[in-house]
């Protein structure tokens, strides 16, 4: 279905191109005619791509729920922990895309940092988050009963290979951070610092102020977050060196995200004595 959708999108793009840049005898009337001819291809192709993406997300949600409900899993799990109000907030802002960019027509309103993470990790393992199935396209959603969510999350923290955390001062996220610190999961946690410069991603407001308040809340849990960077960052704590390893957020490209995540995971934790030798 997605392949057919992409073909239709390209046919629509070609029709518009043929009536404008590709025409040696350009006229406004001819251009409008080609747009009218190509528009149905755009719309139907985009709808097919969106339907295909939605079907993939349904399968991811089902798998995520099965993993969350089970006591063990044979899958490599990347657990995404974030405040629920961050969903679809940090959206891609790619000014290089034009009307003739097929990627523009493939986007379905869910293209944010979470979606990039999902695409970056799809060949490596299962990207899982808590939430309502169908609410977003990115991490597979697992819905937990209110009275059992803490025990379920504690189990997922243990069973997950990598934790990816967007720090916040919401009660649920602070509880998760406390569990990560107290239960010894910092060594497998990658933190995401949200951006605020607006060049690559949208933002939700004064991110620097949000970060300062989150720093204050996390310090009470024994976790001193690094200084805020407007470009955003990926960082992890090196317990042996007693410092943060940090790098800027990559651009809106899943391959760049995959490379940057792997780079951060591969950084060795060198003890103070070895680092100063």
Q: What is the pLDDT of residues 24-46, one digit of tens each?
A: 666 767 767 777 777 787 677 77
Own/partner contacts of 258-261, CB < 8 Å, gap of 24 or more, are: 258/120, 258/121, 258/124, 260/234, 261/117, 261/120, 261/121, 261/190, 261/234
Contact by Cβ (8 Å): 248, 195: no
Which residues are registered as beta bridge partners of 80?
129, 164
Q: What is the pLDDT of residues 69-111, one digit of tens each?
A: 886 678 899 999 999 999 988 988 876 666 666 666 666 778 8
Mean pLDDT estimate for the chain: 85
- Residue 13 is predicted with a pLDDT of 73
Reported pTM: 0.83
Architecture (CATH level 2) of domain 74-275: 3-Layer(aba) Sandwich (3.40)
pLDDT-derived band at 188 (thresholds 50, 70, 90) equals very high
C-alpha of 153 from chain center: 20
Nearest to 39 by CA among 14, 75, 76, 62: 14
Q: Which helix (H) or strand (E) segment is 117 a member of?
A: helix 113-121
- Residue 218 is predicted with a pLDDT of 97
């Amino acid at each position: 279905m997605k392949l057919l959708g992409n073909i239709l999108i390209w046919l629509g793009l070609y029709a518009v191109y043929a009536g404008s840049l590709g025409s040696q005898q350009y006229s406004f009337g001819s251009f409008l005619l080609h747009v009218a001819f190509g528009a149905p291809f755009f719309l139907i192709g985009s709808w097919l791509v969106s339907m295909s993406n939605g079907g993939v997300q349904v399968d991811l949600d089902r798998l995520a729920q099965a993993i969350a409900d089970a006591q063990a899993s044979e899958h490599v799990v990347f657990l995404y922990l974030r405040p629920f109000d961050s969903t679809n907030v940090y959206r891609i802002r790619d000014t290089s895309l034009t009307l003739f960019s097929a990627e523009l027509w493939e986007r379905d309103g869910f293209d944010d940092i979470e979606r990039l993470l999902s695409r970056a990790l799809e060949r490596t393992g299962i990207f899982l988050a808590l939430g309502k199935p169908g609410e977003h396209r990115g991490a597979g959603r697992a819905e937990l009963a209110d009275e059992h969510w803490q025990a379920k999350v504690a189990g997922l923290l243990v069973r997950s290979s990598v934790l990816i955390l967007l720090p916040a001062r919401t009660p649920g996220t602070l509880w998760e951070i406390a569990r990560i610190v107290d239960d010894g999961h910092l060594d497998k946690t990658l933190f995401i610092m949200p951006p605020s410069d607006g060049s690559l991603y949208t933002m939700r407001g004064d991110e620097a102020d949000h970060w300062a308040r989150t720093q204050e809340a996390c310090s009470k849990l024994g976790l001193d977050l690094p200084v805020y960077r407007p470009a955003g960052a990926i960082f992890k704590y090196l317990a042996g060196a007693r410092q943060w390893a940090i790098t800027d957020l990559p651009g809106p490209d899943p391959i760049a995200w995959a490379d940057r995540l792997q780079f951060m995971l591969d950084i060795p934790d060198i003890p103070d004595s070895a680092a100063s030798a």
